[in-house]
Amino acid sequence: MAGDSNKARAGLWPGLAAIGLTTCYLAALLAAEQQDVIIALLALGIAIVVGAAWFGLFDGVSRSFAEREDSMGFFVIVALVALGAYFHEDHFILLLVVTVLLYSVATLGLNIQFGYAGVLNFAGASFFGIGAYTSAVFNTYTAVPHLIVLLIGGLLAALIGSLLLLPVLRTRGHYAAVVTIAFALLFKTFLEVNDVLGGPQGMQVPAMNLSGWSFNDNIEIGDITLSFYLNYFIVSVLLLIVAFGLVRRLERSWIGLNLDALRLDETAASCFGLNIARWKITAFLIGNFLIGIAGALFGMVGGFVGPNNYTFADSLILVSILLLGGIGNPWGLVVATFIVVVVPEKLQTIQEYRFLLYAGMVIVVLLFRPDGLLPRPVRRYFPGWRS
């Protein structure tokens, strides 16, 4: 921006205040159990957000995040840890938060594919499922260390996903999306008829165990009992940090630029030397790798995996998170995952109508904020960098 180099750097305070308030709000929402309290809290949240946007209070916040992203990221981690500590003995809520964290990792993967490279993947849940089945098989039949199993889950998702490369490269836009839908349906049928993988009954997934540290035991420190989900919580936070950092660096590099260029205009991109196939493949594989790792860990968290856990409907949820959060903006994705996972879980009254809720949210967002809740800003290779 012209003259913006004269201004002082954005302050930390607006961002910090936003993180603090959001954390308290989330704690209250997660802890609430009565339906009327939850509905009141949700209404309050929407009112605050709309009001703050109305009075322009988010400008300072977005400036803090744009220019001081590393510090903001650190405080978000602190806030997450605080949430984890606050709910240290509540199995259900920790499971919910872990679900949010792992779905975020998966949508970050989807974001590389669709948000950057423009390759629509409607089989996200299938690749998530490949990860989960990997942990089921490896944890049951082998003694491979479980952290390695997570990596294998990612690799297998990328490998099996590479079956789709040829059709995805040979088709464009909607047609490529149809190929992935076909894959999702084939995948489910394959699992249902395959007895080795448990058929329609699915498989048990043995819990994570890192050199003797068993994740399915509650942690006892003196008189305090910590939920065993706290183990998974820690690993999930770490995984999200790594995935987030990876996506950020990818976007803020020439590779991110290549992906944008080929998404926006393949012909122009190839006139400037871009190898379209190479970068589409790179994005598709890295995306599936992230989705697979998230799925592998999620399988261990849930302890069970079946063909009906990872259907086309779940893939649609992942895509709707992407649309809701703001395609291409990792912060937006994390926020949107919280909304999409937590709201239906807390609002028990609407359980059966949850797809109606998703559809409604997506339509409202597309109508009023076509770029999502937090639209993707212009690329800054180094936040706060001045020439």
264 binds another protein (CB under 8 A): yes
**What are the residues facing 209 on neighbouring strands?**
214
List the one residue from 7, 254, 352, 370 that touches another protein (CB under 8 A): 254
Least distance between another protein and beta carbon 259 (Å):
11
- Shortest Cβ distance from residue 99 to another protein (Å)? 28
Tokens (6 digits) for 193:
């008829």
Minimal distance in Å, beta carbon 63 to another protein?
14
Give the C-alpha separation, 62 to 17, whole Å. Answer: 12
User: Per rule CB under 8 A, is residue 55 in the interface with another protein?
Assistant: no
Q: Are 385 and 252 in contact (CB under 8 A)?
A: no
Name the minimum Å distance from CB 330 to another protein. Answer: 15
Distance CA 28, CA 327 (A): 29
**SS3 of residue 387 by DSSP:** coil
| 274-313 footprint of another protein as x/- string (CB under 8 A) | xx------x-------------------------------
Long-range contacts of 224-230 (CB under 8 A, 24+ apart): 224/88, 224/89, 225/89, 226/88, 226/89, 227/87, 227/88, 227/89, 227/90, 227/91, 227/94, 228/91, 229/91, 229/94, 229/95, 229/98, 229/301, 230/84, 230/88, 230/94
Does 255 sit near another protein (CB under 8 A)?
A: yes
Taking only Cα atoms into account, the Rg of the chain, rounded to an integer number of angstroms, comes to: 21
Cα–Cα distance measured from residue 181 to residue 188, given in angstroms and rounded to the nearest whole number: 11
The rounded distance, in Å, linking the Cα atoms of 202 and 324 is 31
215 neighbors 231 (Cβ within 8 angstroms): yes
If the CB atoms of residues 258 and 288 are measured against another protein, the closer one turns out to be 258
Stretches 28-36, 55-63, 224-232, 259-267: which one binds another protein (CB under 8 A)?
Answer: 259-267
Q: Which stretch binds another protein (CB under 8 A): 71-79, 101-109, 210-218, 260-268?
A: 260-268
Kindly write out the interface string for residues 366-385 of this chain, putting x where it contacts another protein by CB under 8 A and - elsewhere: ------------xxxxx---
Counting contacts by CB under 8 A, is residue 59 touching another protein? no
272 binds another protein (CB under 8 A): yes
Positions that interact with another protein (CB under 8 A): 1-3, 246, 249-250, 253-255, 257-258, 260-261, 264-265, 267-275, 282, 378-382, 387
